[in-house]
A and B are shown apart, each in its own frame.
Chain A
């Protein structure tokens, strides 16, 4: 055959195929952007919720007396177990008196732990067994005692073993941890490990993961190292599933376990340094990060990054001007409207001060509280002093604390929450709402100051499980594969030998035996991302419709692409390529205009809605997760029931916090209508279930399947 023709044919096919792959790559990328935007929006929501708790505290005195029940529930003083030896003794007694019934078929532990115990645990968890609460409490207690005597920054040497392995976020994915152990061997003196935080939340096996990690920590204290992540934080756990997981698996002792874990988490070391050359931390750095200072921090005081140490109101004005680069303090955002700014580039594309006007015409409630403070991105609001009663202590409320506490808090938050960026400098991490973005110069400066050569961090999901940046000075390592969706990303771990040259190992947990094509993988992830996005659109329905209709003066049901893009962008505040996504979210008219109402078509509510006013229904949809967290806190005995009175009071407080005008009668009507058996109590899970949005396609599939 004429080779010239063959070559031309080959070029044509290559050209065509590369364009095809590029199209897929584009879809894969924006899918990724959707997942990430929604993930970080959730983090913002959690910060917002914490401001609700503070709002409750702000209004505490005013309401006290009128609603003693609710307030006492929310502000119930638990004792700070970390500092009270009496309570500690009591707790020890407590687990000693727990009996393991003979019917228990799970693993047994005997302390001090041996390899037999860790093997038993691994074997049992593979068989879906649960460790008995007595052993969990005992293990946590020993772990706490061990961690207490550890410094904030651990210095390890790779000289004993040939190599050291560093793993990133696991997020409750036991399969990933087991795969790492399978590929790389179990931890031992010859095979040391560093786990770099975010062991829990999101996945369904968080408790199993920390049990395994803590057991190995006690077994090989010199060869197993655990850094704290931003999810080792009881307030994060309320939203991201760990609290729920523990309460489901440990019905009787769940609360004790959680309480103890809160201390254990706060005692986890913040950083590990290998051979005085490699710094390993969960998030990253800021231009304020100083390892020597970090080493002097009283880390157990930072129970949650979402909660600043208590400070009095008059002191906060002073601080506004002095600390501009504050991480995690934008709890009251300049956008004091119902939506939090999730915009990553918000601060350069549009001035934040003007954007709050975009929703002024909408009927949606605003999160702005009556006691709203002057918006300033640098203001460390006392709002962040969140008190979650059954998990936390009120004790820290009382005395005004020195600024030192706040500096310490910031040191820890920056290390746990920050992300690298390619430009120089250090700026607030407005996308996540906590920590900083740090540039290569910040990395360079810190490494040089401490004579280090490399920073290994985790905290961000990466397509390939790892990524290098800052001229190779920063490694991101992420160990939870399929984090966003089956096939969305690989997991990885990194090994360092004595030469400190990183070697990466990638893997992907797969339930599928057949390898999917790129096209199939992209489509699966894309459709789940689009579903998540449709839910977001649905939750903002009335706000969006009002804005759409303003552009649709003639009531045609259609608006231009540019108008649609602009409305969706300004209402949802997710930084997404709406124009590209448009054909996948809405029906287009033949002339290319957008039939805007069609973006709500694929969604409906899970169950027939209880009798509530339409605007209430939408609010319930949008704040369902928040309400679930609040109700769960009020429901101290975890019966799934709260009293009508508690329901009414919470709802009143929450709606006034949202600055929403709901008349008392509407709330009373709603409360009465959901007290089905008229016993004065409300099954809030069932109630909230009605406000879970579902995809019509899924309903059909269920019906046909």
Chain B
């Protein structure tokens, strides 16, 4: 039993360290605060896949009563520890992601026109900004055919991610 407890404590301390390390990268002033706009990056870089709505919920939880534009580490740590311990916002499996692209590819051609993809991602759901869309297309577009072969794209991005 003692071993279990020790192992659990070690696990929690490991999680704390991961959170603290990610937080530190954005703590430019070394005063244990980060800009609230960076919280999403921190949470996602820790391996979480929240939606924007879920992200807003977390931010609401860790923000000061009178929002200052900054998030304090003491407030962020317990919430984020809980998120990681409970394995919330699990990764999206590749096949599910592929299915999502297939849904948008109504004619089942195996590719999407850039206009098509932009229309969906900039008008539906948690819409992309112009900048996000351009960035995605710069990586996703096949330079010769000028379309998105989404299966290749997903494969490529997954490889990038594990590097």
Interface residues of A (CB under 8 A from B): 1, 3, 5-23, 25-26, 29-30, 33, 344-345, 348-349, 421-423, 515, 517-519, 562, 575, 577-580
A-B contact pairs, 23 of them (CB 8 A): A3-B124, A6-B120, A9-B101, A11-B125, A11-B126, A12-B96, A13-B104, A14-B51, A16-B92, A17-B132, A17-B136, A19-B49, A22-B41, A22-B42, A22-B43, A22-B45, A422-B29, A423-B29, A423-B31, A518-B139, A577-B21, A577-B22, A580-B22
Q: Is the CB of B125 within 8 A of A580?
A: no
| Residue of B with least CB distance to A36 | B28
Q: B48 in the interface, Cβ–Cβ < 8 Å? A: yes
Interface residues of B (CB under 8 A from A): 17-18, 21-22, 24-26, 29-31, 40-45, 48-52, 92, 96-97, 99-101, 103-104, 106, 120-121, 124-128, 132, 135-136, 138-139, 157, 160-161
Q: Is the CB of A14 within 8 A of B40?
A: no
CA distance A10 to B105 in the complex (A): 12
* Chain A hits for B41, CB < 8 A: 22, 25-26
Asked whether A577 and B101 contact (CB < 8 A) given A21-B132, A517-B135, the answer is no
Q: Is the CB of A9 within 8 A of B120?
A: yes
| Residue of B with least CB distance to A2 | B103
CA distance A12 to B43 in the complex (A): 17
* Chain A hits for B101, CB < 8 A: 9, 13
B113 to chain A, nearest CB (A): 15
B124 to chain A, nearest CB (A): 4
Chain A: interface secondary structure? helix
* Chain B hits for A22, CB < 8 A: 40-45
A100 to chain B, nearest CB (A): 51
Give the one of B22, B43, B99 with max A CB within 10 A. B22
Nearest first, the 6 A-B pairs at minimum CB distance are A22-B44, A345-B30, A10-B125, A11-B125, A26-B45, A10-B124
Q: Is the CB of A14 within 8 A of B138?
A: no
Pick from B24, B124, B126, B157: contact of A20, CB under 8 Å: B157
Chain B: interface secondary structure? helix
CA distance A21 to B128 in the complex (A): 12
CA distance A422 to B34 in the complex (A): 11
A345-B30, A518-B135, A579-B18 known; 6 new pairs, CB 8 Å cut-off, are A8-B100, A10-B124, A14-B52, A18-B52, A25-B45, A348-B30
Q: Is the CB of A16 within 8 A of B29?
A: no
CA distance A103 to B25 in the complex (A): 56
B112 to chain A, nearest CB (A): 11
* Chain B hits for A518, CB < 8 A: 135, 138-139
* Chain B hits for A421, CB < 8 A: 29
A463 to chain B, nearest CB (A): 12
* Chain B hits for A29, CB < 8 A: 25-26
Q: Is the CB of A519 within 8 A of B139?
A: yes
* Chain A hits for B139, CB < 8 A: 517-519
Q: Is the CB of B25 within 8 A of A33?
A: yes
* Chain B hits for A18, CB < 8 A: 40, 44, 52, 132
Asked whether A517 and B138 contact (CB < 8 A) given A11-B125, A11-B126, A19-B44, the answer is yes
CA distance A578 to B20 in the complex (A): 11
* Chain B hits for A577, CB < 8 A: 21-22, 24-25
A575 to chain B, nearest CB (A): 8
CA distance A579 to B18 in the complex (A): 7
